[in-house]
Each structure stands twice: as structure tokens, then as C-alpha cells.
């Protein structure tokens, strides 16, 4: 389901007796429009789940999941249970950021790691549908296996703009939203699941959703009205002490060493700080965005980019991983990264972003001029 076009909204406003000028001047009117659209999406999701009652879904999140993806996937799993749908949440990469590891352990978040090799030995015929949360299949190594198995894409929920020709039965893509966790919380507010603090899974999931919103809005500093409203709703159900425990997780020695290396190697010019950190282990890749978070706090720096070469021995693959952080309002990380690095042979972007942050992942062959078909088309 595609969001209504600006033209259709104008017609609705005219039919309701509200001019474009009036609606633009009245923030409450914009809020009502957003609430109306969210309600329609929740109802469309309810109808989709009703059609798939008593089925089994495979929920695919990005290879290196963040709190937004983890919490959104868990909330969807709990919602689907209301329709007797059993779901498994899977990712192909690794959890390396200390907060993500703590979130999964402390909340008992039901997520499984499926490496591409292990996934080939899984019986995918038990799944009647596939679900993508906080991604559209472009950031998961499991997408190709799902497609080869012929599993239909039932649901796709993401706060990024459309990236592929993915055609799910139900699609909710809202690039104007800061967090997928906010979108999923709106489903809860619409009644798809009644949270109950006496149920530990509900309390822990609400805590995870609060963390997801917090992390994707830079501690709510970049939050919009919908994010604040979602957080206010979750405040009735989440465990503040549990969230504190997640946030107080210590950085590992390796992360600290990589931050020090980025500081030593950085080059600052025109308020940009760029640092290469060389090779690092696959399981340490989440140290790169933390180093970028650190460098962007330097005086007279508004944008920081940190990159390194990560080797995945299980797949015999080397990729350049990078993170961008910026406080410059006029710099759009998503647009900047997509224009800088382009797409692969299948039309998938090598990176993207959101307000204030972005990331990219580029096969080393692409930079070295490999004869690989997927890379040669991007020279």
C-alpha cells in the first residue's frame, strides 16, 4: 500500500473544506492527517494478518541489526501472535555493538543468527510468508535465499524510501519518519496489540521500542511529533531501570582502541573529519559508527566519516565499511552517500542514511576495479 500522494491529500482537504494554506498553518490539522493515515495502515495490516491466520512467518532484519530493527521486529512478532501466526526473527551478520548485545540479553529478545551458510541448511518450506522490518531486503544476505525458496513477501515496514522493486502484500514505507519503532508503536496504539505490564514480554518489548525510538532520533533531539507521541504511549509500559541497564553497558577495549586509532588517523579539512582505521575483525565492525560519533564532537567539525576494511572469513569476503555522522542541517546523509557510491549491478545502493547519520558497505572489488559483473557496471 503506497502512501497517499500530495495531490490526493489536497483533494481530501478540499472536500473537507480545509484549504492548503489553512492546513499548513494549523499543526493540529497535520497531526490529524498523520493519525488518520497511521490508522488506515494499521487496519490494512490487520486485514493482511487475518488472511494469514495460523501461518508461519520469517522476519528478516538487516545483517547488523540496530535497536530500531530489533524492537520493531519483536513488536511485529507479538502482534502476529494475536492472529495465531508464529514468527522467527533472523539476521545474517552479527551483533557487535555493546548496547545491541545488552538489549538482546537483558530483554530476552527472541532473535536468531542465521549465517548464509547455515541458512542454506534450513527448511524454509515451513514458512508461508516473509516479513522485512526496518529494511527492504537490500541489507540482508538472506534475501536471495528467501527469494530462491519462493517464500512470498507478506509485509514490509520501513522508515526509509523505496529501495527495490519489492512488492509485498502489505507495505508501509514512511521516509518522513525517524524510526520504524515509532511506526510499529502506532500499530499498538491502534489496538493491534494491547500491552500488559504483567506480561514480561510486553514490558520488555515496550522497553526495546523506547530504546529503538531513542537511538534513531539521537536521544530524541531529532524526534518529530509522532516520535514523542509514541514515546509518551510507551512510557506507560516500559521498564526504565531495564533501559538504564542497556544504556550503561561499557565499551569494549577494542572499541576504545579503534576510537583512538580514528583520532590519530583523522584528516580535518573544511569542517570535515575523515579517518581510515585499516583492517578490523568482522565482529568489531560496530566500532566504526561509535568512532564516527566520537569524531563529530570535535570543535569546528560538523561532519565525520570513519571507514575500515572488514573481512568476513566465513564468506571469504572483504568489504569497506564506513559511517557518517553530521550536525550540518543542510547535509542529507542518505542523498550524499547514495550519490557518492551509487548502486551495484542489481540496482541496490551501497549505502544510505537518515537525519544526521549514514553508513555504507562496499565490496573491495568495486574499488579495485574487479572484473566482477556486479562491480564493473559501477566504474
Cα–Cα distances (Å) from 96 to 45, 93, 129, 135, 287, in that order, read: 32, 9, 29, 19, 8
Distance separating alpha carbons of residues 361 and 314, to the nearest angstrom: 17
Question: With contact defined as beta carbons under 8 Å apart, do 89 and 56 qualify?
Answer: no
**Together in a domain, 12 and 82:** yes
The reported pLDDT for the residue numbered 56 is 98
Q: How many CA atoms lie within 13 A of 370 on its CB side?
A: 13
The reported pLDDT for the residue numbered 356 is 87
The total of other beta-carbon atoms located within 10 Å of residue 79's CB is 20
Distance separating alpha carbons of residues 350 and 137, to the nearest angstrom: 13
List, for residues 243-282, the tens digit of each pLDDT value. 999 999 888 888 999 999 999 999 999 999 999 999 998 8
**Together in a domain, 188 and 260:** no
pTM (two decimals): 0.78
Angle CA 327–332–333, to nearest 5: 85
The reported pLDDT for the residue numbered 23 is 40
How many independent structural domains does the chain possess?
2
Residue in the structure block whose three cell numbers are 500499530: 187
The reported pLDDT for the residue numbered 2 is 45
Residue range(s) defining the domain that contains residue 196: 6-247
Last residue of a domain, one of 216, 247, 278: 247
**Together in a domain, 349 and 213:** no
| CATH at 341 | 3.10.310.30
pLDDT of the chain, 379 residues: tens digit per residue: 444 443 333 333 333 343 343 344 444 445 556 678 999 999 999 999 999 999 999 999 999 899 999 999 999 999 999 999 999 999 998 887 889 999 999 999 999 999 988 999 999 999 999 999 999 998 898 999 999 999 999 999 999 877 777 889 999 999 999 999 999 999 999 999 999 999 999 999 999 999 999 999 989 989 999 999 999 999 999 999 999 999 998 888 889 999 999 999 999 999 999 999 999 988 888 899 999 999 999 999 999 999 999 987 666 778 899 999 999 999 999 899 989 998 887 777 888 888 889 999 888 865 544 444 333 333 3
- Name residues whose C-beta falls within 8 Å of residue 173's C-beta, 6 or more positions apart in sequence: 3, 136, 156, 157, 158, 159, 160, 161, 162
Last residue of a domain, one of 247, 274, 299: 247
**Together in a domain, 191 and 284:** no
The reported pLDDT for the residue numbered 6 is 38
**Together in a domain, 239 and 265:** no
Distance separating alpha carbons of residues 145 and 358, to the nearest angstrom: 27
Distance separating alpha carbons of residues 136 and 105, to the nearest angstrom: 26
| CATH at 12 | 3.90.1640.10
Which of 137, 124, 150, 163 is closest to 60 using CA atoms? 137
Residue in the structure block whose three cell numbers are 530476552: 108
Give the H/E segment covering residue 234: helix 225-234
**Together in a domain, 98 and 201:** yes
Last residue of a domain, one of 222, 247, 272: 247
Question: With contact defined as beta carbons under 8 Å apart, do 352 and 163 qualify?
Answer: yes
- Name residues whose C-beta falls within 8 Å of residue 28's C-beta, 6 or more positions apart in sequence: none
**Together in a domain, 151 and 283:** no
Q: How many CA atoms lie within 13 A of 349 on its CB side?
A: 21
Amino acid at each position: 500500500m503506497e502512501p497517499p500522494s500530495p495531490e490526493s491529500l489536497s483533494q481530501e482537504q478540499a472536500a473537507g473544506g480545509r484549504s492548503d494554506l489553512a492546513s499548513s498553518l494549523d499543526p493540529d490539522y497535520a497531526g490529524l492527517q498523520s493519525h488518520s493515515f497511521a490508522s488506515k495502515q494499521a487496519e490494512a495490516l490487520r486485514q493482511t494478518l487475518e488472511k494469514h491466520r495460523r501461518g508461519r512467518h520469517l522476519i528478516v532484519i538487516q545483517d547488523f541489526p540496530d535497536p530500531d530493527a530489533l524492537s520493531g521486529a519483536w513488536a511485529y512478532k507479538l502482534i502476529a501472535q494475536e492472529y495465531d501466526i508464529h514468527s522467527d526473527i533472523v539476521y545474517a551478520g552479527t551483533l557487535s555493538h555493546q548496547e545491541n548485545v545488552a538489549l538482546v540479553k537483558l530483554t530476552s529478545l527472541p532473535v536468531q543468527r542465521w549465517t548464509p551458510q547455515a541458512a542454506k541448511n534450513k527448511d524454509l518450506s515451513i514458512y508461508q510468508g516473509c516479513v522485512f522490518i526496518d529494511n527492504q531486503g537490500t541489507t540482508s544476505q538472506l534475501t536471495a535465499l528467501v527469494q530462491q525458496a519462493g517464500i512470498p513477501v507478506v509485509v514490509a515496514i520501513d522508515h526509509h524510501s523505496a529501495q527495490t522493486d519489492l512488492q509485498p502484500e502489505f507495505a508501509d514505507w514512511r521516509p518522513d519518519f525517524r524510526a520504524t519503532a515509532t511506526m510499529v508503536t502506532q500499530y499498538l496504539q491502534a489496538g493491534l496489540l494491547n500491552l500488559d505490564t504483567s506480561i514480561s514480554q510486553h514490558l520488555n518489548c515496550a522497553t526495546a521500542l523506547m530504546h529503538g525510538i531513542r537511538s534513531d532520533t539521537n536521544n530524541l533531539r531529532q524526534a518529530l511529533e509522532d516520535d514523542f507521541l509514541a514515546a509518551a504511549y510507551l512510557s506507560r509500559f516500559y521498564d526504565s531501570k531495564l533501559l538504564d541497564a542497556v544504556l550503561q553497558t561499557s565499551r569494549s577495549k577494542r572499541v576504545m582502541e579503534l576510537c583512538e586509532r580514528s583520532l590519530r588517523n583523522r584528516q580535518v579539512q573544511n569542517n570535515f573529519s575523515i579517518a581510515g582505521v585499516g583492517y578490523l575483525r568482522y565482529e568489531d565492525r560496530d566500532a566504526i559508527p561509535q568512532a564516527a560519533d566520537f569524531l563529530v564532537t570535535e570543535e569546528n567539525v560538523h561532519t565525520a566519516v570513519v571507514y575500515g576494511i572488514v573481512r568476513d572469513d566465513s564468506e571469504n569476503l572483504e568489504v569497506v565499511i564506513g559511517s557518517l555522522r553530521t550536525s550540518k542541517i543542510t547535509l542529507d546523509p542518505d542523498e550524499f552517500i547514495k550519490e557518492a557510491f551509487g548502486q551495484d549491478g542489481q540496482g541496490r545502493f551501497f549505502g544510505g542514511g537518515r537525519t544526521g547519520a549514514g553508513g555504507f558497505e562496499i565490496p573491495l572489488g568495486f574499488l579495485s576495479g574487479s572484473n566482477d559483473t556486479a562491480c564493473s557496471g559501477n566504474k
